[in-house]
């Protein structure tokens, strides 16, 4: 009887492992189309075509599309949030991000303030003017700099037109951070574009978090197959770590003994089961490189995929016709050349230049690994 129960338990374990692996693989397969869908949805968030034209400059929205792509090229929360600040600085004169944590909004990084470090550890008044309205209602709120409070004005001075904008960066339907923007001395403040970038950032942080959780579950399944786990309590809740631990502000009170569920802070899934990831390193094409160079190569490859995904997304009819008539490059020449230039500007002088990732992605994704589909005018 005992042997029969043991065999039954083993069969149940095998079925459970197979189901877990199948679910994880199915989830991973949905990430690329989900990424494209997010880009499309956030672009539609702009109220009118006029706003899109204004954001892109000269009636061209490609600058805003590429700004979203830069954000989506990030794979960690710090990379994504830095990309938000870098991209957002193109649509305002001054921009800063304040992390909401333990009932306080504390400065993390900024652009355009002259001394950007002055923002670090500065605490916003969550009960003041546009900050309070944004935090409580989770909507972008314009206002006058005087409403930010006297301490804020004394610390950072006022923009020339005194107009400011506070935007919510939400995760799990909670405000994880507040983005402050103003026009500085030049008065440049494009509210709709900034709102779109913050929406894109929120969505991408959610996707990255889901992707890492799925990868952790997949690694856990593989590790269980290779080696039985040690006798310890089963962990059923994902581990999280604060990506801004090195910037922990002095004025933020200590976390309560019993943490709030889904705390309103920017969080990142901790890396787990590192030993299970070791076999993958053997197949890593950048295994022989320094960690810095390998990281550049990975980012370049991801960026190339994002650029080509954009071309496919906004030119679906041309892609279909080009594949059918084998003149894909002629039909998409302007978009391909512009995206190639963007890629070269970012990675052409880095260690990843030798990888030719954009060219390879064109062949893989657009031409479906058949160079003849690109046509005779495509440079091999």
Residue % of the chain over a pLDDT of 90: 32
The pLDDT score that the predictor gives to residue 337 is 93
pLDDT range class, residue 247, cuts 50, 70, 90: very low
pTM: 0.52
Lowest mean pLDDT among 104-113, 248-257, 283-292: 248-257
The pLDDT score that the predictor gives to residue 273 is 36
Same structural domain, 294 and 191: no
Asked whether residue 362 is domain-assigned, the answer is: yes
The pLDDT score that the predictor gives to residue 246 is 42
Same structural domain, 46 and 176: yes
Are the beta carbons of 131 and 151 closer than 8 angstroms?
no
Same structural domain, 54 and 177: yes
pLDDT range class, residue 325, cuts 50, 70, 90: very high
Asked whether residue 46 is domain-assigned, the answer is: yes
Same structural domain, 186 and 330: no
Asked whether residue 271 is domain-assigned, the answer is: no
The domain boundary, picked from 146, 174, 209, lies at 209
Torsion sign (Cα): 314, 316, 317, 323:
positive
More confident call, 153 vs 225? 153
**Which range is most confident: 3-17, 40-54, 135-149, 272-286?**
135-149
The domain boundary, picked from 156, 175, 209, lies at 209
Instruction: Count the domains in the chain.
Output: 2
Residue carrying the six token digits 């199915």:
26
Asked whether residue 262 is domain-assigned, the answer is: no
Asked whether residue 190 is domain-assigned, the answer is: yes
In the predicted model, is pLDDT for residue 117 greater than 80? Answer: no
Summarised one tens digit per residue, pLDDT across range 200-222 is: 898 888 888 877 776 666 566 55
Same structural domain, 63 and 192: yes
The pLDDT score that the predictor gives to residue 165 is 95
Asked whether residue 254 is domain-assigned, the answer is: no
Summarised one tens digit per residue, pLDDT across range 58-75 is: 345 678 888 888 898 888
Are the beta carbons of 203 and 45 closer than 8 angstroms?
no
The domain boundary, picked from 182, 209, 236, lies at 209
Q: Residue 108's domain is classified under what CATH number?
A: 3.30.450.40
Answer left, alpha or beta for residue 122, where phi above 0 means left and psi between -120 and 50 means alpha: beta
Tokens of 193: 């574009």
Mean per-residue pLDDT, 365-374: 90
Distance CA 293, CA 297 (A): 6
Give residue 334's domain range.
Answer: 290-374
DSSP letters spanning 302-353: HHHHHHHHHHHHH-HHHHHHHHHHT-HHHHHHHHHHHHHHHHHHHHTTSGGG
Residue 131 belongs to what H/E stretch?
helix 129-137
Same structural domain, 175 and 294: no
In the predicted model, is pLDDT for residue 140 greater than 80? Answer: yes
In the predicted model, is pLDDT for residue 6 greater than 70? Answer: no
The pLDDT score that the predictor gives to residue 62 is 77
Summarised one tens digit per residue, pLDDT across range 11-23 is: 666 666 666 666 5
User: In terms of Cα–Cα distance, which of 246, 104, 105, 73 is closest to 179?
Assistant: 105
Asked whether residue 74 is domain-assigned, the answer is: yes
pLDDT range class, residue 44, cuts 50, 70, 90: low
More confident call, 273 vs 284? 284
Number of other CB atoms surrounding residue 326 within 10 Å: 16
Same structural domain, 319 and 188: no
Asked whether residue 51 is domain-assigned, the answer is: yes
């Amino acid at each position: 009887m005992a042997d029969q129960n043991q065999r039954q338990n083993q069969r149940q374990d095998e079925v459970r492992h197979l189901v877990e692996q199948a679910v994880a693989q199915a989830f991973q397969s949905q990430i690329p189309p989900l990424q494209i869908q997010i880009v499309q949805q956030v672009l539609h968030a702009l109220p009118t075509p006029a706003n899109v034209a204004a954001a892109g400059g000269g009636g061209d929205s490609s600058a805003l599309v590429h700004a979203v792509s830069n954000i989506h090229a990030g794979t960690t929360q710090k990379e994504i949030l830095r990309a938000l600040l870098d991209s957002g600085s193109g649509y305002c004169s001054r921009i800063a991000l304040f992390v909401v944590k333990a009932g306080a909004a504390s400065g993390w990084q900024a652009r355009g303030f002259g001394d950007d470090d002055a923002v670090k550890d500065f605490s916003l008044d969550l009960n003041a003017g546009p900050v309070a309205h944004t935090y409580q209602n989770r909507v972008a709120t314009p206002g006058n700099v005087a409403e930010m409070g006297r301490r804020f004005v004394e610390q950072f001075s006022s923009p020339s037109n005194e107009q400011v904008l506070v935007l919510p960066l939400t995760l799990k339907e909670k405000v994880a951070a507040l983005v402050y923007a103003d026009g500085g001395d030049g008065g440049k403040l494009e509210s709709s574009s900034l709102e779109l970038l913050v929406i894109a950032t929120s969505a991408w942080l959610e996707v990255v978090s889901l992707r890492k959780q799925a990868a952790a579950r997949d690694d856990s399944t593989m590790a269980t197959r290779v080696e039985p786990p040690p006798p310890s309590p089963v962990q059923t809740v994902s581990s999280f770590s604060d990506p801004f631990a090195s910037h922990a502000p002095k004025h933020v009170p200590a976390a309560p003994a019993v943490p709030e569920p889904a705390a309103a802070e920017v969080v990142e899934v901790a890396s787990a089961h590192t030993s299970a990831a070791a076999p993958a390193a053997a197949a890593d094409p950048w295994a022989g490189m320094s960690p810095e160079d390998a990281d550049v190569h990975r980012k370049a490859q991801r960026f190339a995929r994002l650029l080509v995904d954009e071309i496919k997304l906004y030119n679906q009819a041309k892609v279909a016709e080009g594949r059918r008539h084998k003149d894909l490059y002629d039909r998409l020449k302007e978009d391909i050349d512009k995206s190639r230039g963007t890629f070269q500007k970012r990675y052409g002088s880095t260690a990843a230049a030798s990888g030719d990732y954009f060219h390879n992605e064109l062949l893989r994704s657009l031409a479906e690994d058949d160079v003849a589909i690109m046509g005779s005018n495509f440079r091999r």
